[in-house]
Structure 1
Amino acid sequence: MPRIAVIGGTGVYDPALLDEVKKVTEKTRFGEVAVMVGKYRGEEIAFIPRHGADHSVAPHLINYRANIMALKQLGVDCIMATAAVGSLLLDYKPGEFVLADQFLDFTKVRKHTFYEGGADGVVHCDMTVPYCPELRQAIIKAGQEKGLTIHNGGTYVCTEGPRFETGAEIKMFQQLGGHVIGMTSVPEVCLARELGICYANLSFVTNYAAGISPGILTHAEVVEMMQGSINNIRYLIMESVGLIKEARSCDCRRILQEKRMNQ
């Protein structure tokens, strides 16, 4: 069973670098999910392209609950998720990486929890530190060996999409303390935490956000930037795999202990 999973965002659609790749269709109560499972240096890795293999699923229509539940059912306890983001600060430059440690949620129509009452009960999940510090440290170590610029920490502003933000919205997000902006980290990180899965967000800055960028924003620009750095993205993901410890002291799985105590 795979212990580690990669969720590929924009520009990261195929499980490159994995050997013996096979497709597994995992059935969950939220829907079926096609998961690619392969091996890297003897380690089984699961892979899901978040937007589909041909980028056909908009960010607000992704079945986040099915994706995370499918990985849990497969035995995954660590998720590394890539994302293309815009920068809200001049210090976070296009071509650099950011490992978010906090988020601001401005989504509107998404299912954010597995626990909606009834037989599932109601679970109030702690999100003080939503992104796993130990997974982030593994990615930082892998990046240092290649000399990549990685900001370890930053607030990810998650918007509904699929439209880009207005200049006024960007000014508001800056005042609220945002560092980068994207459309997918929430509720993905929340759902992973509810199931006790360690989760890291590897954001790649593709452009400056609206009002900071000198021109209008286009999806083509985002894809082009991602394609130009895909080798570094894949390197970071795969090299981090060998640096993730099986025994971790983070609080990501604490919610499971609380649920058992309340049952």
Structure 2
Amino acid sequence: MLAIIGGSGMTKLASLEISHRQIVRTPYGEPSGPLTFGKIDNQEIVFLARHGHGHTIPPHAVNYQANIWALSLFKPKSVIAVVSVGGIRADLTPSTVVVPDQIIDYTYGRKCTYFDKTDRPITYTDFTHPFCLETRRHLLLAAEKANEKIIDGGVYAVTQGPRLETVAEVNRLEQDGADMVGMTGMPEAALAKELGLPYAAIAAVANHAAGRGTSVRAIPLEEVYAVLEKAMVSVRNILGHLVKINDG
């Protein structure tokens, strides 16, 4: 089974033949919504909309612990996180699709670990490679089979949100080595690593980050959503090919 977490621009999978939805209770509260089960090309899929039905849960308020725990109960072979980002690096232009390979975490106040109890020994999680190398390779192979252009690698800066960044903040992110900026990659990736889930992200570039691109003006949100939907067409095509690889 392949697990897919949909973010902004992907609150559902149009190609998913839904069999049922299931409400899952966890020790960490309720996930963003019911898990949706079904098939794509006869391959089993479980889907969760990160921001809930109607896209109502802001990035800092997502119950990442419950979401990842709920998906782990069904022992997926891989977890694919669909995220939208702003492009910092020059080649990460709007509508580009990229598979990041590193993360810098700028979030705060989020419940970021399953090992926060004092009644057991401290557990340290190796986060050298935040994304599963094999799952990343499968995403890149799926893009090749789908004849979709994709960029291999990039540093994903995760900010708190829900506001967007200032030009000065993006300048700092770039100086830190970030290539793109979004709001949902952490603690999601770290929690998946703690539970031993093979997790990788596929990022759709919705817009230039603040101060980047040919114009420094703020881009109207309706334009951002239009670009994001264009990128999501490619993402859905890639995921459609990924399910066959994941089943192999």
Corresponding residue for residue 28 of structure 1: 26
- 1:213-263: CA deviation from partner (whole Å, max 9, x where unpaired): 4121444333221222332211111211211267xxxxxxxxxxxxxxxxx
Query: How far apart are the structure 2 equivalents of 1:119 and 1:227?
Result: 47
Query: How far apart are the structure 1 equivalents of 2:6 and 2:58?
Result: 14
Corresponding residue for residue 84 of structure 2: 84
Query: How far apart are the structure 2 equivalents of 1:156 and 1:218?
Result: 23
- 1:70-126: CA deviation from partner (whole Å, max 9, x where unpaired): 001122241001111101111222121111110000001101101102346431100
Equivalent pairs: percent with the same residue? 34
Can you give the 5+ residue segments of structure 2 that lack an aligned partner in the other structure?
Answer: none
Task: Classify 1:65/1:216 alpha carbon distance in 2 versus 1 (closer, same or farther; 3 Å).
Answer: same
Residue identity in the other structure for 1:240: L
Query: How far apart are the structure 2 equivalents of 1:217 and 1:65?
Result: 33
Task: Classify 1:21/1:218 alpha carbon distance in 2 versus 1 (closer, same or farther; 3 Å).
Answer: farther
Query: How far apart are the structure 1 equivalents of 2:26 and 2:67?
Result: 9
Task: Classify 1:217/1:162 alpha carbon distance in 2 versus 1 (closer, same or farther; 3 Å).
Answer: farther
Corresponding residue for residue 260 of structure 1: none
Corresponding residue for residue 241 of structure 1: 243
Once the two structures are superposed, the pairs formed by residues 84-103 of structure 1 within 5 Å of their partners are: 84-103=84-103
Query: How far apart are the structure 2 equivalents of 1:208 and 1:77?
Result: 33
Residue identity in the other structure for 1:161: G
Once the two structures are superposed, the pairs formed by residues 177-256 of structure 1 within 5 Å of their partners are: 177-213=177-213, 214=215, 215-244=217-246
Once the two structures are superposed, the pairs formed by residues 44-83 of structure 1 within 5 Å of their partners are: 44-83=44-83
User: Which has the higher mean CA deviation after the structures are superposed, 216-225 or 74-83?
Assistant: 216-225
How many Å apart are 1:127 and its aligned residue?
Answer: 0.4
Residue identity in the other structure for 1:57: I
Corresponding residue for residue 110 of structure 2: 110
Can you give the 5+ residue segments of structure 1 that lack an aligned partner in the other structure?
Answer: 247-263
Report if aligned partners of 1:7, 1:48 keep a CA contact under 8 Å in 2: yes
Corresponding residue for residue 13 of structure 1: 11
Task: Classify 1:89/1:143 alpha carbon distance in 2 versus 1 (closer, same or farther; 3 Å).
Answer: same
TM-score calculated relative to the size of structure 1: 0.88
Task: Classify 1:92/1:73 alpha carbon distance in 2 versus 1 (closer, same or farther; 3 Å).
Answer: same
Is the partner of 2:30 in helix, strand or coil? Answer: strand
TM-score calculated relative to the size of structure 2: 0.93
Report if aligned partners of 1:28, 1:70 keep a CA contact under 8 Å in 2: yes
Residue identity in the other structure for 1:21: S
Query: How far apart are the structure 2 equivalents of 1:176 and 1:147?
Result: 33
Q: How many residues align?
A: 244
Task: Classify 1:84/1:194 alpha carbon distance in 2 versus 1 (closer, same or farther; 3 Å).
Answer: same
Report if aligned partners of 2:30, 2:63 keep a CA contact under 8 Å in 1: no
Corresponding residue for residue 249 of structure 1: none
Residue identity in the other structure for 1:225: V
Query: How far apart are the structure 1 equivalents of 2:145 and 2:13?
Result: 23
Query: How far apart are the structure 2 equivalents of 1:227 and 1:29?
Result: 35
